[in-house]
Amino acid sequence: MTVTPELRTPRQATPDLLRSVFRQHAAGVAVITAHGDRPVGFTATSLNSVSAEPALISFGVGTGSSSWPVLSEAEHIGVHILGEHQSELAATFARSGADRFGGATSWRTGPEGVPLLDGVLAWLVARVVAKVPAGDHRIVIAEVVEGDPRGEGRPLLYHQGRFNALRD
């Protein structure tokens, strides 16, 4: 039996089209942190492993974000893989104007002065090696300096505009 796919008229490329398509793409949730004159951080679903040798990662950050002025000057960044128990933390770091490093956030100063969040599944500290212009964002490429993969739990995912847990 042959099933004919439903014919649909494609939509022109717009920011809305891109957002709509990527709502269908489940992504892991990370928080990126840095320290300059103050600690900054934001929730990212664009984290990627780029190379094993040397150990490189990348992520995108909007140049209009409140974190960008500090990130643009930072030599080192922190990368935190969030667990399914950390959806509120993810929401805090995603919310504009939130007190991200206030009393509700448990963190400490880590290697290279990078703010490290407590209770995450894994973390890395990485040295920024490039900031590549990409539209209204920059793609940051960083070389891993050290980290810890030994957190407990399952990963937090982002899908359909919401933070979600894996299902069995």
What digits encode the pLDDT tens for the residues 130-167?
A: 999 999 999 999 999 999 999 999 999 999 999 999 88
Q: Please, what is the Cα angle at 92 between 119 and 79, to 5 degrees? A: 50
Contact between 47 and 28 (Cβ < 8 Å): yes
Q: Is pTM, for the whole model, over 0.85?
A: yes
Residue 115's pLDDT is 98
Q: Is 80 helix (H, G, I), strand (E, B) or coil?
A: strand
> What proportion of the chain, given as a percentage, has pLDDT over 90?
80
pLDDT at 43 exceeding the cut of 90: yes
In the prediction, which pLDDT does 21 show? 86
Query: What are the boundaries of each domain within the chain?
Result: 27-150
- Name the pLDDT band for 24 (thresholds 50, 70, 90): confident
Instruction: Return the CATH number of the domain spanning residue range 27-150.
Output: 2.30.110.10
Q: How far apart are alpha carbons 1 and 50 in whole angstroms?
A: 42
Considering just the CA atoms, what is the radius of gyration of the chain in Å? 17
CB neighbours of residue 45 within 10 Å: 20
